[in-house]
Each structure stands twice: as C-alpha cells, then as structure tokens.
C-alpha cells in the first residue's frame, strides 16, 4: 500500500512540475519519459532494463525535440 501511495505522490509532483515549462521543454520531457518506459520494457526482455531505459530516454527526448521543431511553424 505504501508503494502505491508513494507512486501516486511522485506522479502528482511530476505533473505539477510541468506547469511552468515551455512547450519545447514539455515535449522533450514527455518524449524522454515515454522513451525511458518503452526502453526499459524492451531492455527487460533483452536482459538489461537499465541500458534500455537510458537508450530509450535519449531517443525519446530527441524525438520530442524534433516533434517540437515540426510543430513550431504551425
């Protein structure tokens, strides 16, 4: 039960911390977080979740930045 409460508190603090961020910062952070989660899952299947999370976070952050560059002119 404590783990669930701690996870909920971390999620609320994480989401609340994004309020003052620019759209670019939000997209890069979101991409990094999604990439880290996906990379950890793939890495766990391959035997190294930490490495998968690190690679996924980098790729996701880059993807978020590139998406922001694409969205700016619109």
Contact 18, 26 (CB under 8 A): yes
Query: Does 9 reside within a domain?
Result: no
The tens digit of pLDDT for each residue in 22-74 reads: 889 888 888 888 888 888 889 889 888 888 888 998 999 999 999 999 998 88
Q: Is the dihedral of CA 17, 51, 42, 2 positive or negative?
A: negative
Kindly report whether the global pTM for this prediction surpasses the value 0.85.
no
Of the candidates 28, 30, 1, the residue with the CA atom closest to the CA atom of residue 14: 30
Query: Does 1 reside within a domain?
Result: no
Total domains in the chain come to: 1
Query: Does 27 reside within a domain?
Result: yes
Query: Does 3 reside within a domain?
Result: no
Domain boundaries, position 69: 21-74
Query: Does 58 reside within a domain?
Result: yes
The residue with greater pLDDT, 18 or 60, is 60
Distance of CA 69 to the CA centre of its chain: 18
Query: Does 12 reside within a domain?
Result: no
Which pLDDT value is given to residue 15? Answer: 66
């Amino acid at each position: 039960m404590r783990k669930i409460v701690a996870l909920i508190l971390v999620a609320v603090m994480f989401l609340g911390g994004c309020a003052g961020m620019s759209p670019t910062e939000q997209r890069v952070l979101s991409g990094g977080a999604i990439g880290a989660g996906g990379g950890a899952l793939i890495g766990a299947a391959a035997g190294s979740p930490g490495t998968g999370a690190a690679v996924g976070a980098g790729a996701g952050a880059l993807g978020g930045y590139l998406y922001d560059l694409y969205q700016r002119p619109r």
